[in-house]
Chain A
Amino acid sequence: MNICFEIDTNNNILSGLSYTFKIMEMIESCEEEEFTIDCSKTKFVSPAFVLPLMILVKGSNKNISFTNLTSYLSTIHFGNGFCADNIRIQEFRAIMEEYKRKTYIPIINFPAIEIKDDLKNNILSAIENLLVKQTNIEKNIAIGLKYVIDEYVDNITQHSKSERGYIFAQAYPTKHYMDICIGDNGITLLGSYHNNGNENIKTDLDAMNAANNGISTKNLPNAENRGYGIFTSKKMLIDGLNGDFVMISGHSMYIYNSIIDKFLDLPKNISCPGTIVLFRIPYINTDFNYINYVE
Chain B
Amino acid sequence: MNNSIDITAILGQELKSRSYVSDFALYIKNLNMKDVKVDFSKVTYATRSFIDEYYNIFIKNHNTLENNIHVENINISSDIQAIFNAVSNTQNGESKKRSSQNASVVSFTNVDDLNNFLSTLNM
Contacts and interface: CB of A to CB of B under 8 A. Distances in A.
Contacts of B114: 18, 21, 264, 266-267, 270
Given A214-B96, A294-B86, A151 B110 contact: no
Given A224-B93, A228-B48, A261-B102, A17 B18 contact: no
Contact of A227 (B47, B96, B104): B96
Interface residues of B, number: 50
A269 B48 CA distance: 37
Given A154-B18, A154-B49, A291 B83 contact: yes
Contact of B121 (A143, A213, A255, A263): A255
Interface string A1-38: 00000000000111101100110010000000000000
Contacts of B87: 225, 228
A254 B14 CA distance: 30
Contacts, number: 164
Contacts of B107: 264-265
A125 B118 contact: no
Contact of A222 (B56, B109, B110, B118): B56
A146 to B, nearest CB: 6
Interface string B108-123: 1111011101110111
Range of interface residues on chain A?
Answer: 35 or more
B98 interface: yes
Contacts of B26: none
In this complex, the member of A117, A225, A246, A268 whose beta carbon has the largest number of chain B beta carbons within 10 angstroms is A225
A214 B104 CA distance: 17
A195 interface: no
B48 A21 contact: no
A295 B108 contact: no
B96 A154 contact: no
A154 B47 contact: yes
For the complex of A and B, the 7 pairs showing the least CB-CB separation, nearest first, are A265-B107, A261-B103, A213-B98, A25-B111, A18-B115, A224-B93, A14-B118
A256 interface: yes
Interface in A221-258: 222, 224-229, 231-232, 234-235, 238, 244, 246, 254-257
14 contacts: A12-B118, A125-B14, A146-B45, A151-B48, A154-B17, A157-B19, A214-B96, A224-B93, A225-B90, A229-B47, A238-B99, A259-B122, A261-B103, A264-B106
A172 to B, nearest CB: 14
A121 interface: yes
Interface in A134-158: 143, 146-147, 150-151, 154, 157-158
Interface of B: 12, 14, 16-20, 45, 47-49, 52, 56, 60, 79, 82-83, 86-87, 89-94, 96-111, 113-115, 117-119, 121-123
A256 B45 contact: no
Contacts of A147: 47-48
Interface string A167-197: 0000000000000000000000000000000
A110 to B, nearest CB: 13
B92 to A, nearest CB: 8
Main SS class of interface, A: helix
A151 B47 contact: yes
B111 to A, nearest CB: 4
Contacts of B18: 154, 158
Interface in A45-89: none
